[in-house]
Structure 1
Amino acid sequence: MKKRGGGEPEKDNKERWLITYSDLITLLLIFFVVMYTLSKIDANKYYAIASSLAKTMGGSQSIMDNAGAAIVPGAAREKSNEQGMPESVEQRNMESIKRQIQDYIDKNGLSGKVTVAIEERGVVVSFQDVVLFPLGVADLNPSSTQIVDKIGAILHQTNNYIRVEGHTDNLPIRTSKFPSNWELSLARAASVVHRLIEYSGIPAERLSATGYGEYRPRRPNDSDANRQQNRRVDIVVLRTKFEGAEPAAVTGQPQPVNQPNKE
């Protein structure tokens, strides 16, 4: 090697590339650690923390009201319902309600007579009429009250609106009490509503009763077996996005006063 200025000869450092290589490997390791950490973000926990901080600081529900697209899939701000709850949280709540009711059905031998499912409109608990009512009657069987009370205790966990729907088959009914299937189906729905209010403690403002008569059949009314499927009462836990279809209550209004009957 040549000497510089008469000094010692320069050393040919052939391993200098190792420094650059090790720096690159270190940066790649850090990059993948960061990406792995971001992939484990729980969007619901993030939402809850963000909402809590925003409320504490007197701000809005969201820390980033005009946030752009998220880098990590799934970490974007999730669509919320009218109550400010992420829709995935409401879905998990409904799945929990369905699971509890299904466990009760299985443990008490009610399969085939009581069913529960999650539909687009919410959780639907369906009772065949023989479980709750004698034929052509709107008063609950004494043996059925325990079933309604147990399921009502599970439904008490949710703050969603609950609609009770009465259904009949197409066989005509004409009695002094029920001139048509409309009245029978509505009276049955109302009986279940009263039971849920009085014994399950569900607030009355969250409940409604609807009578569909013979006009929402599950099966064609062409056999006894199909007509049996159509005679039913459904309890529907409505998803929040459908609450807009329910009439809104005006707060601050005076409560009705019971007036004495006029002779």
Structure 2
Amino acid sequence: MADECPKCPEAGAPRWLATFADLMSLLMCFFVLLLSFATMDANKFKKMSESMMNAFGVQRDIPADDVPMGTSIIAQHFSPAQTEPTLLPDVKQSTNQKDTQLDVSAKDMEVLKKQIMEEKLKEIEEQAEQIRKTLQEEINAGLVTVTTEGLKIIIRINEKGSFPSGSAVLKAGFEPVMDKITESVNHSVGEVAVAGHTDDVPISTDWYRSNWELSAARSVTVAHYMLNNKNTDPKRIVIEGYADTRPLVPNDSDKNRAKNRRVEIIIEQDDPTVDLDDSATVIQSDALADKLN
């Protein structure tokens, strides 16, 4: 028998392979025993498979017929106690307001507006009467007239004694009348419009190309005189020129044409019923906001 070569491997399988095979056999027996002892939960298996399918497969919508409900621990371990009536009376607060409208009918609102307007018109008439007393001499002389028209006080300066024919320069001696008018206007309240008017006779001179320029120039002259008084507020003054578009009487005679040639100082006050409507709107808006909140 020949001597074995020390460098050649031993014949057959290596010795560690027998130990590895024994270990694998023991592990297989262990998992077989685990599988035999385990019980299969079909619901959990189904959910796990669906989860795996959604994660690695094609996702699809799964309808949910019922909302998942939690389990109450208190309901399982405790029973509700019987309630007893309390000795204290129940106090509940309630309101009858069911809408956002004011508890004021349209008829009552109209009556209220009428009362406020009557008081305002009475106040304006009293102011106009005070101006008439101040300008009594000029009114008697036919230089000035004072009338009221709704919320307006109209101080009408007639052409007689104020302006020469076809001119926008005040006549000499008319300054005291303008001083009285200016003081009366400064003691009043409201916007002041200075409006010039002419008759229907056309005019074309080097100074004035038409009745429009003449009426506007006379308005500017009166306004400038009033603004020379330091107590006159320029923010109240508005200048207007109407030419022959707004006659007082028909231009069918010299007397009527003389009446239409005039400058009007119109003191107009605000409508007091507008504030009443605005207040009602604000209250209704606040009530609506409270209801929405």
Q: Residue 202 of structure 1 aligns with which residue?
A: 232
Question: What residue in structure 2 maps to residue 230 of structure 1?
Answer: 260
Q: State the TM-score, normalizing by the size of structure 2.
A: 0.52
Q: Report the aligned-residue RMSD.
A: 3.1
Deviation at 1:132, TM superposition (A): 1.4
Compared with structure 1, are the counterparts of its residues 161 and 109 closer, same or farther at alpha carbon in structure 2 (3 Å cutoff)? closer
The alignment-based identity, stated in percent, is: 31
Q: Answer whether contact 1:105 1:111 (CA < 8 A) is retained.
A: no
Q: Is the 8 A contact 1:153 1:200 kept in 2?
A: no
Separation in 2 of the partners of 1:145 and 1:131?
11
- Which residue among 173, 192, 202 is the counterpart of 2:222? 192
Q: Which amino acid aligns with 2:264?
A: D
Mapped contact 1:182–1:213 kept (Cα < 8 A): yes
Equivalent position to 1:101, from 131, 151, 164: 131
Q: Distance in 1 between matches of 2:113 and 2:252?
A: 47
Give the C-alpha shift of residue 211 in structure 1. Answer: 0.6
Q: For residues 174 and 130 of structure 1, do their structure 2 counterparts lie closer, same or farther at Cα, with a shift above 3 Å needed?
A: same
Q: Which runs of 5+ in 2 are unaligned?
A: 1-100, 275-293
Shifted more, 226-235 versus 119-128: the winner is: 119-128
- 8 Å CA contact 2:162, 2:171 repeated in 1: yes
* Alpha-carbon contact 1:97-1:155 (below 8 Å) kept: no
How has the CA–CA distance of structure 1 residues 143 and 67 changed in structure 2, closer, same or farther, with 3 Å as cutoff?
farther
**In the alignment, what sits opposite 2:168?**
138
- How far apart in 1 are the matches of 2:179 and 2:199? 26
Q: Work out the CA distance in 1 between the residues paired with 2:230 and 2:249.
A: 32
Q: Distance in 1 between matches of 2:160 and 2:208?
A: 18
Residue 142 of structure 1 aligns to a residue in which SS? coil
| Residues 166-199 of structure 1: per-residue CA shift (max 9 Å, x gap) | 0111111111110000000000011111111112
User: Which residue pairs with 2:47 in the alignment?
Assistant: none
1:216 to 235, 240, 246: 246
> How does the TM-score come out when normalised to structure 1?
0.57
**SS in structure 1 opposite 2:160?**
helix
Cα drift, residue 87 of structure 1: 4.0
Match in the other structure for 1:128: 158
**How big is the shift at 1:141?**
1.8
Contact 2:189–2:267 under 8 Å retained in 1: no
**1:12 is matched with which residue?**
none
- Aligned runs of 1:18-97 on 2, under 5 Å? 66=102, 68=104, 87-88=117-118, 90-97=120-127
Q: Give the equivalent residue in structure 1 for 2:35.
A: none
C-alpha change, 1:108 and 1:218, in structure 2 (3 Å) is closer
Give the Cα–Cα distance (whole angstroms) in 1 for the partners of residues 205 and 185 of structure 2: 34
| 1:194–1:67 distance in 2 versus 1, CA, 3 Å | farther
- Tell me the residue number matched to 1:26: none
CA–CA distance in 1 between the matches of 2:139 and 2:112? 43
Q: Which runs of 5+ in 1 are unaligned?
A: 1-64, 81-85, 245-263
Q: How many Å separate the matches in 2 of 1:160 and 1:104?
A: 19
* Cross-structure match for 1:159: 189
Matched-pair contact (CA < 8 Å) for 1:167–1:212: yes
Give the Cα–Cα distance (whole angstroms) in 2 for the partners of residues 200 and 219 of structure 1.
Answer: 36
Number of residue pairs matched?
A: 172
- Structure 1 residues 189 and 103, CA gap change in structure 2 (3 angstroms): same
